[in-house]
């Protein structure tokens, strides 16, 4: 059976639409197994009574659409943990208020419509004072020793920094966008939960 030019064009258009839908639509059914491994360092000095854990500035280092979606999901996740979040796109030495940063260090993904796996590595941190000299905001592995003033004039100070690896394995039938949104949500929820837990511990 011969295939006409029009049939080839129609088949090509259908294939293109299928490819685009797999890339752009957030749709699918899957079962997922996710685990998060984290390494966190916490430094504090003074009496935590004056630490108001309600409002934070959030900076997310953005290099692509995945980081933009991560920022959106982080806001939701932190708000679910009882925080009021304000986004900032500036890097400063001193924000003058409680500050959180999140930076995606590396993402590796293997995707098919029926089976996918990924490993997402993010770095995160918190400063109760808003000063950032000891935070590795831009992923430069600063490794500076943390030194707090001991004269008591600056009140309570809490500094947290950590790295998290989120591994995920999913099976089912789902689009690429659906899978990417899934790992972004899992990462945001894990980071917000981990960071919130350490901040609350630092208050008592």
Residue 11 has pLDDT above 90, yes or no: no
129 within domain boundaries: yes
- Degrees to nearest 5, angle at CA 188 with 121 and 68: 85
Helix, strand or coil, per DSSP, at residue 169: strand
Q: What is the pLDDT of residues 130-149, one digit of tens each?
A: 988 888 887 776 666 677 66
Tens-digit pLDDT profile for residues 162-204: 999 999 999 988 888 989 999 999 999 999 999 988 877 755 4
Structural domain of 158: 28-202
Edge-first strand listing for the sheet containing 84-87: 28-45, 157-174, 115-127, 99-111, 55-61, 84-87
Q: Let me know if residue 14 belongs to a domain.
A: no
Assigned domain for 55 exists: yes
Q: How many domains, the chain? A: 1
- CATH assignment of the domain containing 66: 3.30.160
Residues in the chain, how many? Answer: 204
- Residue 63 within a domain: yes
Give the whole-angstrom CA distance, residue 144 versus residue 64.
28
Does some domain include residue 5?
no
pTM: 0.81
Q: Is residue 19's pLDDT more than 50? A: no
Question: Has residue 137 been placed in a domain?
Answer: yes
| Structure token digits, residue 12 | 């090509």
Number of CB atoms found within 10 A of residue 133's CB: 12
120 located within any domain: yes
Q: Is 36 helix (H, G, I), strand (E, B) or coil?
A: strand
- Is residue 3 included in any domain, yes or no? no
């Amino acid at each position: 059976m011969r295939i006409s030019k029009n049939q080839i064009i129609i088949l090509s258009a259908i294939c293109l639409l299928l490819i685009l839908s797999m890339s752009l639509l957030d749709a699918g059914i899957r079962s997922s197994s996710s685990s998060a491994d984290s390494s966190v360092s916490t430094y504090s000095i003074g009496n935590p009574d004056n630490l108001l854990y309600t409002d934070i500035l959030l900076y997310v280092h953005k290099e692509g659409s995945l980081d933009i979606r991560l920022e959106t999901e982080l806001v939701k996740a932190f708000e679910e943990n009882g925080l009021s979040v304000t986004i900032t796109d500036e890097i400063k030495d001193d924000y003058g208020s409680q500050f959180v940063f999140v930076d995606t260090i590396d993402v590796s993904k293997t995707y098919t419509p029926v089976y996918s796996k990924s490993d997402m590595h993010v770095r995160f941190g918190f400063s109760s004072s808003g000063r950032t000299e000891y935070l590795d905001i831009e992923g430069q592995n600063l490794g500076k020793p943390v030194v707090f003033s001991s004269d008591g004039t600056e009140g309570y100070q809490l500094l947290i920094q950590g790295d998290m690896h989120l591994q995920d394995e999913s099976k089912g039938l789902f689009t690429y966008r659906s899978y990417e949104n899934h790992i972004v949500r899992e990462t945001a929820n894990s980071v917000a939960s981990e960071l919130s837990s350490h901040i609350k511990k630092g208050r008592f």
